[in-house]
């Protein structure tokens, strides 16, 4: 999903954003080609752009705190 942004991000940054995207998709049971996944991709890239020095854990927490529908499903 995020590979189309490779011209805007370096390989390490793209890999970090992709891992966060993949983790949130898995947690929320989102199909990677769904409309919700498009929204998630935009949220990940925006959060990364606003603070590019974040760790993977920071970025995951930022996305989860801002979007209840991307929180890890339990039970």
More confident residue, 22 or 51: 22
pTM for this prediction: 0.80
Residues with Cβ within 8 Å of residue 8, at least 6 apart in sequence: none
Would the pLDDT of 7 be above 90? no
Mean pLDDT to the nearest integer, 1-23: 85
Tokens of 50: 């606003």
Tokens of 35: 């409309």
Tokens of 40: 């998630």
Question: Could you tell me the pLDDT band of residue 54, with boundaries at 50, 70 and 90?
Answer: confident
């Amino acid at each position: 999903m995020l590979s189309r942004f490779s011209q805007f991000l370096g390989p390490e940054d793209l890999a970090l954003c992709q891992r966060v995207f993949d983790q949130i998709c898995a947690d929320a049971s989102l199909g990677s080609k769904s409309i919700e996944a498009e929204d998630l991709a935009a949220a990940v890239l925006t959060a990364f752009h606003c603070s590019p020095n974040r760790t993977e854990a920071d970025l995951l927490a930022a996305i989860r705190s801002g979007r209840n529908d991307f929180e890890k499903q339990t039970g």
